[in-house]
Amino acid sequence: MARSTTPDAPLARFAPTDRLWRLPGVYAPQHDTRLLAAALRHEGSLSGLDVLDIGTGSGALALYAAHLGARVTALDVSRRAVWSTRFNAWRAGLPVDVHRGRIEDLAGRRFDLILSNPPYVPAPHRRPPTRGAARAWDAGVDGRHVLDQLGRAAPALLGPHGVFLLVHSALSGADATLDMLEAAGLRAKVADRELIPYGPVLRSRLGWLRARGLVGPDETMEELVVIRAEHI
């Protein structure tokens, strides 16, 4: 998971711009971003819809939704992410309303579609970091610190028949996410899956993950899942 101030490689598969700029410590679009972008594309026309991107990072998904015609609000707790997204939106000429804050700050608003690529990697620390690059991926010992917060707050932000698209690692428990969203009154399913080789973060803590029984001794691939939940 490299971080730099240099532009990313071409991202035409999912972003309206050729290259995205980001400050150090801002999450670089990767497999999970592309997988969620594909799910967003499968929703069809976004023209005129109100879309919320939670944990926008460099703004890749927010820009893509705006490119597809949505009115987009992007949210992140990181100042650097907010600055990066605002710059990328300005450069792309796309109207994205970018805010620094938490999902609770949007109480009372309603969106037609919410998407999020949150921190989800299990880490050997009970609470996730509050600063530094690892804040973009470390999410407590079960990887669910942010996922559970989203499950509690996001359903209330969905309008009638609104859709919530969420990507995370199967290591964090896809069934737990489905059960959480169903309990909140949403109809939820795994919309897509993809196996990818372990990246540097998982490789750096394989011993700990194996000791906890989260990965087998010979496993080398991580499964990503996209959860689609609909307000019914």
Among candidate residues 15, 37, 27, 196, the one with its CA nearest the CA of residue 89: 15
Res 12 pLDDT > 70: no
Res 15 pLDDT > 70: no
Greater pLDDT, 46 or 126: 46
pLDDT digits (tens, 9 = 90+) for 38-74: 999 999 999 999 999 999 999 999 999 999 999 999 9
Lowest mean pLDDT among 5-9, 130-134, 211-215: 5-9
pLDDT digits (tens, 9 = 90+) for 103-122: 989 989 999 999 999 999 99
Res 13 pLDDT > 90: no
pLDDT at position 16: 46
Q: What is the mean pLDDT of the chain?
A: 89
pLDDT digits (tens, 9 = 90+) for 72-87: 999 999 999 999 999 9
pLDDT at position 136: 85
pLDDT at position 14: 45
Residue 73, C-beta contacts closer than 8 angstroms, at least 6 positions apart: 50, 51, 52, 53, 96, 97, 98, 99, 106, 111
CB-CB neighbours of 135 under 10 Å: 18
- State mean pLDDT over 176-195: 96
Among candidate residues 196, 197, 188, the one with its CA nearest the CA of residue 226: 188
What's the pTM value of the predicted model, to 2 decimals? 0.90
pLDDT at position 126: 79
Model confidence band, residue 187 (pLDDT cutoffs 50, 70, 90): very high
- How far apart CA 175 and CA 128 sit, in angstroms, is 22
- State mean pLDDT over 123-146: 86
Greater pLDDT, 38 or 130: 38
Domains of the chain: 31-231 (3.40.50.150)
- How far apart CA 232 and CA 161 sit, in angstroms, is 6
Res 9 pLDDT > 60: no
pLDDT at position 19: 75
